[in-house]
Structure 1
Amino acid sequence: MKIAIAGAGALGSRFGYMLHQAGNEVILIDNWVDHIQAIREHGLKMTIDAETFTAEIPIITPQEITSDQTVDLVIVFTKAMQLDQMIQDIKPIMNDDTDILCLLNGIGHEDIIAKYIDAKNIFIGNTMWTASLVGPGHSKSFGSGSINLQNLGEGQEIEAKKIAACLSEAGLNARFTDNVHATIYLKACVNGTMNGLCTILDVDMATFGETNQAHEIVTTIVKEFAAVAAHENIELNVDDAVAFIEKCYDRQTIGDHYPSMHQDLIRNHRMTEIDYINGAISRKGQKYGVATPYCDFLTQLIHVKENIVLK
């Protein structure tokens, strides 16, 4: 399959590498000049569980796309605030048969994609794979993960299962679900706790989880997510979600990982996606008349941190 990775950062690089190794024709699309130059000169370096590999995978900027580079599938891994522009920029690589799979953190991204792409070609999901950038051209990851995905357009279940099969053949453990919004909300709970809290406290997930206050804070935030989800006819079991989040504390799996928001703001001095995670719950809470004080405050704290770090 011809596959484009739109947003070849830490996780995009991991997906691109694994799909390439499985025999797919992969092209990476990104805007980071140093990253692009490093991959072009030295190949994509991928460290998986302490072992480093190198793969020669083509990488271009969105501006370098030409109409003869059309692909079968685009997997989007941009930051949420970059999604709209990326979809506009990559239109030349897509035709009427090109599918697009969005695996971004946060909620509601399909509404942006649907402005430019027919619903029959849009597939949405979430992933529990993790990764971080060591530096330009070098992604690092450990542990395993999974993907849940679903078609947005009616009658596209067979195509969704075909995409899931392609990803699974690359070792990415993908599965089709007919209730992807529930899994998206579950992943959003992970991001809505681990991302903001670890960024504010400047710790990895295990260190946060070892504190006496972790369980109560996480439970309170998840309750806010669940209350909002209920207004969208999505059932989110609070106890199950909290237990799922607390698995992240295990140092034998991903406990030593610093979430992507920490990588963005603390390590790389870039804006965060807080407005598309906790901020999205705050906005939906206002819409539905649901109080979300923890999400409101955490969103404000991250913006304060952005002002301090990025001034």
Structure 2
Amino acid sequence: MKIAIAGAGAMGSRFGFMLHQAGNDVILIDKWEDHINEIRKNGLKVNLNGEMFTSYIPIYFPEEIAETKQKIDLILLFTKAMQLEDMLSALSTAIHSETKVLCLLNGIGHEDVIEKFMPKDNILIGITMWTAGLAGAGKAELIGDGSVELQNLAPKGKDYALEVVKILDQAGLHCKYSPDVRYSIWEKACVNGTVNGTCALLDATIAELGQTDVAVSIIKNILHEFVLVAKQERLILDEAAVLQKIIKTFDPNGIGNHYPSMHQDLVKNHRLTEVDYINGVVVRKGEKYGIDTPFCTLLTELIHAKEQLIGAK
């Protein structure tokens, strides 16, 4: 089975490295020229919990895939949400009738885009609670533990979903099959929607955010808007349980000392963020259902303002 990691940033590098180390046939696909050149020249340098590795994994620009005439059996999607359609379009020549896609992007509703390129039977959706960072082009910082949860989008896809669970689990990615991954996706969106943007705006780690007197108040207000909108989507979130899950992320012995992905994009790398696919989704759906979402609206607008002020691209 040929596995393509579409989006070889921090998280894509983690999954690509761990799958490659486990003996799988893996390729990386990304658009960051310096990252690609560094990996091609010196390999992917990985700091895995203080132990150093160098992994020589083939890496390509998306537009190069058609020239290689490769056929991909499984695509793991780690692009930024706004890059998803362009990535799948570039990979269209490598997608065959049996190609499956596992979407592990942050945010909500990405399956609507994926269905433009392949049947629902071939789509898996999921979440990952792993963390990852980049110390620079070709240099991955992989600290701590994590997990993956996935499910087939259509009933016919369950057998293949279970096969993917086995592949990821054998690579040490702690994967499990979920009978209701949609709940978990929304739950994770609540975590990202309350923590990612606030840490980016405050230039803080998750633990530093948690140390402030107003952290829980801010989180409660944002979270409540997610819960109200999810209810209109026929999804009942346990608001108290999700709040406790978010608060647990403050622990510096867990992921508390981690800068979340939106901070890495905006503050560290001056890149555009995925806020429109997390808090922005709540705003748009709130407008659709007649629900006021002032906290998600303000957070989304503040992130966009900061993007403009620093010239994020």
- Name the counterpart of 1:8: 8
Contact conserved, 2:102 with 2:126, CA < 8 A, in 1?
Answer: yes
Distance (whole Å) between structure 1 residues aligned to residue 254 and residue 155 of structure 2: 37
Q: For 1:244-285, what per-residue CA distance to the aligned partner results, in whole angstroms no more than 9, with x for missing partners?
A: 111211111211111111111111111111100000000011
Distance (whole Å) between structure 1 residues aligned to residue 91 and residue 149 of structure 2: 24
Contact conserved, 2:127 with 2:148, CA < 8 A, in 1?
Answer: yes
Q: For 1:170-220, what per-residue CA distance to the aligned partner results, in whole angstroms no more than 9, with x for missing partners?
A: 111111112111000011011101110001111000000011111111111
- After TM superposition, give the deviation of residue 154 of structure 1 in Å: 2.4
Distance (whole Å) between structure 1 residues aligned to residue 47 and residue 57 of structure 2: 15
Instruction: Identify the range of structure 1 (53-62 vs 152-161) with the bigger mean alpha-carbon deviation.
Output: 152-161
Q: Please give the root-mean-square deviation of Cα atoms over the aligned residues, in Å.
A: 1.1
- Name the counterpart of 2:267: 266
SS at match of 1:216: helix
Contact conserved, 1:107 with 1:188, CA < 8 A, in 2?
Answer: yes
SS at match of 1:203: coil
- After TM superposition, give the deviation of residue 168 of structure 1 in Å: 0.7
Distance (whole Å) between structure 2 residues aligned to residue 15 and residue 266 of structure 1: 24
SS at match of 1:125: strand
User: What TM-score do the two structures reach when normalised by structure 2?
Assistant: 0.97
SS at match of 2:96: coil
- Name the counterpart of 1:75: 76
User: What TM-score do the two structures reach when normalised by structure 1?
Assistant: 0.98
1:17 aligns with 2:17: yes
Q: Which structure 2 residues correspond to residues 188-199 of structure 1 after superposition, within 5 A?
A: 188-199=189-200
- Name the counterpart of 1:100: 101
Q: Which amino acid is the alignment partner of residue 276 of structure 2?
A: D
Distance (whole Å) between structure 1 residues aligned to residue 247 and residue 141 of structure 2: 23
Q: Which amino acid is the alignment partner of residue 170 of structure 1?
A: A
Distance (whole Å) between structure 2 residues aligned to residue 125 and residue 147 of structure 1: 7
Q: Which amino acid is the alignment partner of residue 249 of structure 1?
A: F
Q: Which amino acid is the alignment partner of residue 57 of structure 1?
A: I
Distance (whole Å) between structure 2 residues aligned to residue 7 and residue 228 of structure 1: 29
Distance (whole Å) between structure 1 residues aligned to residue 194 and residue 53 of structure 2: 32
Q: Which structure 2 residues correspond to residues 245-284 of structure 1 after superposition, within 5 A?
A: 245-284=246-285
Contact conserved, 1:261 with 1:273, CA < 8 A, in 2?
Answer: yes
Q: Which amino acid is the alignment partner of residue 20 of structure 1?
A: H
SS at match of 2:257: coil
- After TM superposition, give the deviation of residue 71 of structure 1 in Å: 2.0
1:304 aligns with 2:305: yes
SS at match of 1:126: strand
Q: Which amino acid is the alignment partner of residue 269 of structure 1?
A: H
- After TM superposition, give the deviation of residue 27 of structure 1 in Å: 0.3
Distance (whole Å) between structure 1 residues aligned to residue 156 and residue 100 of structure 2: 14
Contact conserved, 1:27 with 1:58, CA < 8 A, in 2?
Answer: yes
Q: Which structure 2 residues correspond to residues 55-204 of structure 1 after superposition, within 5 A?
A: 55-66=55-66, 68-204=69-205
Q: Which amino acid is the alignment partner of residue 38 of structure 2?
A: A
Q: Which amino acid is the alignment partner of residue 13 of structure 2?
A: S
- Name the counterpart of 1:40: 40
Q: Which amino acid is the alignment partner of residue 218 of structure 1?
A: I
Contact conserved, 1:47 with 1:141, CA < 8 A, in 2?
Answer: yes
Distance (whole Å) between structure 2 residues aligned to residue 52 and residue 310 of structure 1: 34
SS at match of 2:234: coil
Q: For 1:157-180, what per-residue CA distance to the aligned partner results, in whole angstroms no more than 9, with x for missing partners?
A: 111111111111111111111211
Q: Which amino acid is the alignment partner of residue 56 of structure 1?
A: Y
Q: Which amino acid is the alignment partner of residue 160 of structure 1?
A: A
Deviation beyond 2 Å, 4+ runs, structure 1: none
How many pairs does the alignment contain? 311
SS at match of 2:230: helix
Instruction: Could you tell me which runs of 5 or more consecutive residues in structure 2 were left unpaired when the two chains were aligned.
Output: none
Contact conserved, 2:123 with 2:157, CA < 8 A, in 1?
Answer: no
Contact conserved, 1:103 with 1:125, CA < 8 A, in 2?
Answer: yes
Distance (whole Å) between structure 2 residues aligned to residue 291 and residue 71 of structure 1: 44
SS at match of 2:45: strand
- After TM superposition, give the deviation of residue 50 of structure 1 in Å: 2.0
- Name the counterpart of 1:51: 51
Q: Which amino acid is the alignment partner of residue 175 of structure 1?
A: K
SS at match of 1:234: coil
- Name the counterpart of 2:206: 205
Distance (whole Å) between structure 1 residues aligned to residue 169 and residue 275 of structure 2: 30
Contact conserved, 1:142 with 1:253, CA < 8 A, in 2?
Answer: no
- After TM superposition, give the deviation of residue 307 of structure 1 in Å: 1.2
SS at match of 2:98: coil
